[in-house]
Amino acid sequence: MSLRERNGTWHFRFKLDGREYSGTTDLDATQRNVSEAQAIEAEHRKEMLEGRRPSRRIQVREFSDASKEFLEWAEVEHRDHPNTYKRVATSFASATAFFGREPVSLIDGGRIEAYKTRRVKEHKVRDVTLRHDLHNLSKFFEYAKKQHWTRENPVRDVTIPSDKDAVRIHVLTPAEEKLYFAHASRHRDLYDLGRLMLNQGPRPDEITLQPKCHVDLDRGLFHIRQGKTPAARRTLNLTSESRLILARRMAGPSPWLFPSKRNPGRHITRLNNAHDGMCAKAGLNFVLYDFRHTFATRMAEAGTDLATLAAILGHSSLRQVLKYVHPTAEHQRTAMLRYDNKLRAAARKESARMGRA
């Protein structure tokens, strides 16, 4: 066995079955680290003799520092979906305040349970928020494993709240729609975004991040080229109103449908804030995404089959689209009346047949 110093760190080199192997101990090349470095070298050799993959030494990183690096990665990872990054960053504000300077490798299931308790008792968060927090923490620990800051994902040891009752859906009534667009007429971007979502059903950023070259007005097509799944990358057939809106937005020198002087990816965040402020003034309570929910429900009520609706919404399965479809009580009543009429007609036909027999 032999140690050697390289760039201020102890490295080792040894031969096994005629082949030479080397590696780093990640320890400073000081005299007091010699014994530990030799132990790491011996463990490395032992693992290879036993046919195991040598494990890398865990690097000690405080949660507060590690979270900064993770958020930088997350911002790039979700660059096409800035709202997703925003939710991750929001979750990590509370996580960083709680875990602070704790070493990532020492955070276990017990600490995650304590974090859950703090979020519920002190911050009064609902299950839907807690679930998002824990999923984002799990994503962090998977990233941390790749960076060799920890060997485990402690979130796997805790119970994450079910999403059974967490879907918050609001389908706009005709009165709410009329009131909203009366106010939104003074904010052209909000007005156009809302109308396009109601007419076509896309996600907000599938409109605001699109370049003009993805619009084919002559053929009445809107191409969505980016998305997390192949199903999300799709072509929409434009309604008459959508064609008029997009024709107006195609004017001007900017290559974007929704140009922004700042980062285009941040534009949807500003629109969300403007939407929330306008709803507060109008006495309304719904989010931009509810335009998509409303579109899906209205399409289903109009008789669109679920497979076609899933394709239009950019979902890869029927199970995904079901959570967006919420027929109104009146529509359900009408459907049952129509079904009852069919049953009674069939009964009359059978009665008449029996009378002739």
The CATH number assigned to the domain holding 207 equals 1.10.443.10
Residues 267 and 310 in one domain: yes
194 and 297 housed in the same domain: yes
Q: Which CA distances in Å does 175 have to 178, 179, 282, 284, 330? A: 5, 6, 12, 11, 16
Task: Locate 317 and state its tokens.
Answer: 């399965």
Q: What is the pTM of this model?
A: 0.58
Give me the tens of pLDDT residue by residue for the chain, a chain 357 residues long.
578 888 888 888 888 877 777 878 878 888 888 888 888 888 888 887 877 766 667 888 999 999 999 999 999 998 877 778 888 998 899 999 999 999 999 999 999 999 999 999 998 888 888 999 999 999 999 999 999 899 899 999 999 887 655 556 789 999 999 999 999 999 999 999 999 999 999 999 899 989 999 999 999 999 998 877 788 899 999 999 999 999 999 998 999 999 876 555 556 778 888 999 999 999 999 989 999 999 998 998 888 888 999 999 998 888 778 776 766 677 778 778 888 888 888 888 888 888 776
CB 278 within 8 A of CB 232: no
Q: How far is CA 243 from the centre of its chain?
A: 29
Give the chain's domain count.
3
Whether residue 130 sits in one domain with residue 93: yes
Q: What's the Rg (C-alpha) of the chain?
A: 29
Count of beta carbons in the 10 Å neighbourhood of residue 224: 19
Instruction: Say if CB 171 and CB 294 are below 8 A apart.
Output: yes
Q: Tell me, what CATH number does 131's domain have? A: 1.10.150
Does 227 reside within a domain?
yes
Are 180 and 317 in the same domain?
yes
Residues 221 and 273 in one domain: yes
H/E stretch holding 13: strand 9-16
CA dist 298 and 312 (Å) reads: 13
Of the candidates 137, 127, 132, the residue with the CA atom closest to the CA atom of residue 87: 132
- Neighbour-count burial for 35-58, b at 16+ CB within 10 Å, e otherwise: eebbebbeebbeebeeeeeeeeeb
Residues 71, 43 share a domain: no
Q: Among residues 107, 122, 157, which one ends one of the domains?
A: 157
**Does residue 339 form part of some domain?**
no
Looking at the domain assignment, is residue 167 inside a domain?
no
DSSP one-letter string for 68-127: HHHHHHHHHHTTT-HHHHHHHHHHHHHHHHHHTT-BGGG--HHHHHHHHHHHHHTS---H
Residue 10 pairs in a beta bridge with 5
Q: Does residue 28 sit in the same domain as residue 70? A: no
Q: Tokens 């960083």 label which residue?
A: 96
Instruction: At 262, list the tokens.
Output: 């700042």
What whole-number distance in Å separates Cα of residue 262 and Cα of residue 152? 40
Can you give the residue range of the structural domain that contains 22? Answer: 3-49
